[in-house]
């Protein structure tokens, strides 16, 4: 937690506006999508709420996923001075990076709640379930980070591959568009993306007011995929760890 806090603060050292920059890109992104889809394409309300209230619960967890995976992939290079110390537990670096992104995400959750209150939405106990889906995102991205951080130590192009995958993932997950645009028989393709579970979960909390237990098949699928990814990631990281100091 100490390293995560230091990493969080390090992002804004030397910046005149400091932590303000943390919010600029996400807020501009939301504004662009709102203008394009709501005002440009005149998207109809989804789930009986304004488009912006439907968009925000989908894009907030994606910001966390994107920031955490991208940052953790490069963590061994960024902290190679620690990797080369034999007494340092290198395996905590991906965890530290994900925690650093989690701090930002918790702030965005509060902003999301504030937006809902400003739009006149009544507070609900279902909103607390967001913490469960945050935990789901944390576990999934940590497993992926162990895989890509390990690979990035040997193949520097891994970071570029991750950025491409993130771009593809953002458009294949139903963040800006609704899965109802797909015929029913093809929707299973969208649901193969484990991020789908998290995105729709946030919307279930904020809009639909449903529990994760109402989707047992998706829940089992998500945790099976996440556990396999985490197992693969930790095994790969442990096997390659003795060589990190040599290749960095």
The pLDDT of 51-65, averaged and rounded, is: 90
**What is the sign of the dihedral through the CA atoms of 28, 138, 134 and 140?**
positive
CB 194, CB 218: distance < 8 Å: no
CB 138, CB 98: distance < 8 Å: yes
- Give the relative orientation of helices 92-118 and 130-154 as an angle to the nearest 10 degrees: 140
- Is 43's pLDDT higher than 60? no
Among 36-45, 85-94, 114-123, 215-224, which stretch is predicted with the lowest mean pLDDT?
36-45
- Is 8's pLDDT higher than 90? no
pLDDT at 87: 76
CA atoms of 98 and 5, how far apart (whole Å): 11
pLDDT-derived band of residue 21, with 50, 70 and 90 as boundaries? low
pLDDT-derived band of residue 51, with 50, 70 and 90 as boundaries? confident
The pLDDT of 149-166, averaged and rounded, is: 92
- Is 36's pLDDT higher than 90? no
The pLDDT of 133-139, averaged and rounded, is: 96
Q: Which residue has the higher pLDDT, 23 or 236?
A: 236
Report the predicted TM-score, pTM, of the whole model to 2 decimal places: 0.88
- Is 44's pLDDT higher than 60? no
pLDDT at 137: 96
pLDDT at 191: 87
Q: What is the 3-state secondary structure (H, E, C) of 168-186?
A: HHHHHCCCCCCHHHCCHHH
H helix intervals, 119-177: 130-154, 158-172
CB 75, CB 50: distance < 8 Å: no
Percent residues over pLDDT 70 in the chain: 90
Enumerate the β-bridge partners of residue 46. Answer: 49
- Is 89's pLDDT higher than 90? no
């Amino acid at each position: 937690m100490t390293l995560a806090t230091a990493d969080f603060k390090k992002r804004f050292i030397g910046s005149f506006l400091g932590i303000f920059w943390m919010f600029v890109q996400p807020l501009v992104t939301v504004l662009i999508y709102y203008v394009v889809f709501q005002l440009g394409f005149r998207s109809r309300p989804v789930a009986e709420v304004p488009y912006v209230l439907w968009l925000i619960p989908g894009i907030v967890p994606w910001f966390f996923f994107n920031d955490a995976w991208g940052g953790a992939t490069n963590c061994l290079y960024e902290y190679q001075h620690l990797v080369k110390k034999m007494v340092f537990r290198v395996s905590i670096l991906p965890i530290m990076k994900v925690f650093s992104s989690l701090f930002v995400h918790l702030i965005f959750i509060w902003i999301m709640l504030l937006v809902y209150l400003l739009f006149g939405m009544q507070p609900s106990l279902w909103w607390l379930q967001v913490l469960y889906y945050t935990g789901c995102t944390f576990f999934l991205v940590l497993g992926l980070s162990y895989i890509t951080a390990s690979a990035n130590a040997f193949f520097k192009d891994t970071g570029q591959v991750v950025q491409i995958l993130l771009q593809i993932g953002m458009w294949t997950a139903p963040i800006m568009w609704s899965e109802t645009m797909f015929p029913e028989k093809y929707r299973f393709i969208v649901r193969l993306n484990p991020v789908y579970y998290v995105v729709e979960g946030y919307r279930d909390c904020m809009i639909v007011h449903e529990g994760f237990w109402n989707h047992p098949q998706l829940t089992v699928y998500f945790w099976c995929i996440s556990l396999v990814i985490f197992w693969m990631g930790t095994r790969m990281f442990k096997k390659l760890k003795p060589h990190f100091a040599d290749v960095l």
